[in-house]
Structure 1
Amino acid sequence: MSTFNNDHYNKLVEFIKIHQDDFYRLAYSYVHNRDSALDIVQESIYKSLTSIDKLKNINKIKAWMFSIIINTSISFLRKNKRLIITNNIPEAVQYQNIDIADKMDLHQAIERLDMKYKTVIILRYFQGLKINEIADITGVNVNTVKSRLYSGINRLKVILNKRG
């Protein structure tokens, strides 16, 4: 029996309208391909709209939606059995004061990380999320997020130092 909540549905639709660019940047940070990222966002929005009854707490809408996008992105990568890597600087990642060679090195280093480290680094440093939001999205506790950030950054340093 469906427990459709019209108020939740309307809030979700409004949230999607406001944050669609954030959704795209998040998906793009995984697949590095414009069309694939757009497909992932479209599929994620469809999943969220058709499973709105699973959203128990409307205050967790951001974490819930980002989780759907991350899981859809990971499923896409698994289904295609490859990481999509381009020679372009990811358009989703906009960071200043780094020259183009360093951006390429950072992009390639992030691609080499395990998914658990890559996810928390992207959410924290490229999406600007707080530690507790990342914990909600990934379904792990705050200390695990902190540990993965610390370990992921250290792994990035090792990868980048080997290149330098």
Structure 2
Amino acid sequence: MTLRSDKELVAAALEQDLGAFDELMQRYERLVYKVAFNFVHDSETAFDVSQTVFLKAFQRLAQFRHEAQVKTWLMRITHNESIDCLRHHRARGADLDPLEEASPHLAMEAAQERDLLQRDDRAQLSRALARLNERHRLAVILRYFQGLGIQEVALILGCSEGVTKNMLFRSVRTLREALSGSL
């Protein structure tokens, strides 16, 4: 059995092949969950956000134009849903405090972690990430924790590659300063 491309899976799902959409979900569910978790810092809420992401993706599948990759499209939906979730919790006065939650399961490989900050204290990294604004945090998560390229991150954020590079440079500098000050 050969693996179908994302484009083939989208086409099959549009032809009412629910198995094709299920295959897309299985392909990206971990990534969607990880990105959501890095925003909301709560496993149940991240699971809820993930479910909403795939529900919206299924409902909007006919609108997918193949100008971007499916992964990029799903990351954009995940970003929007995570932000909406945080706003909803803040509006209700039930702010999700990442420092009170369990330490996030950052999905970065050890070599990447050393390259980014040369520190392995994930709790400090989590606190430093929480201090970044939402766009900068997403840029860092997508680029360094999920391994997306600059072009993909720019598409998800809806800005140019130059702006994305500048955002990442400033974010990493801010993280380094925060971490060096806390050590």
Aligned to 1:90: 104
Aligned to 1:7: 12
8 Å Cα contact 2:53/2:77 also seen in 1: yes
Tell me if 1:117 matches 2:130: no
Offset from partner CA, 1:6-38 (integer Å, 9 cap, x none): 535355543222121111111111111110000
Tell me how far 1:93 sits from its aligned partner: 3.1
Query: CA–CA distance in 2 between the matches of 1:111 and 1:117?
Result: 10
Query: CA–CA distance in 2 between the matches of 1:139 and 1:105?
Result: 29
Structure 1, unmatched stretches of 5+, are: none
**Aligned residue type for 2:104:** P
CA RMSD, aligned part only? 2.0
Tell me if 1:131 matches 2:140: no
Offset from partner CA, 1:66-115 (integer Å, 9 cap, x none): 1001100010001101343145321243443754xx22111100000111
**Aligned residue type for 2:70:** I
Tell me if 1:53 matches 2:58: no
Tell me if 1:44 matches 2:53: yes
Aligned to 1:25: 34
Percent identical among aligned pairs is 27
27-36 or 153-162: bigger deviation: 153-162
Structure 2, unmatched stretches of 5+, are: 1-9
Q: Please, what TM-score do these two structures have when normalized by structure 1?
A: 0.86
Aligned to 2:3: none
Query: CA–CA distance in 2 between the matches of 1:39 and 1:87?
Result: 16
SS of the equivalent of 2:69 reads helix
Q: Please, what TM-score do these two structures have when normalized by structure 2?
A: 0.78
Query: CA–CA distance in 1 between the matches of 2:163 and 2:108?
Result: 26
Offset from partner CA, 1:46-85 (integer Å, 9 cap, x none): 0000011221117521111110011000100011013431
Count of residue correspondences = 158
Query: CA–CA distance in 2 between the matches of 1:65 and 1:12?
Result: 13
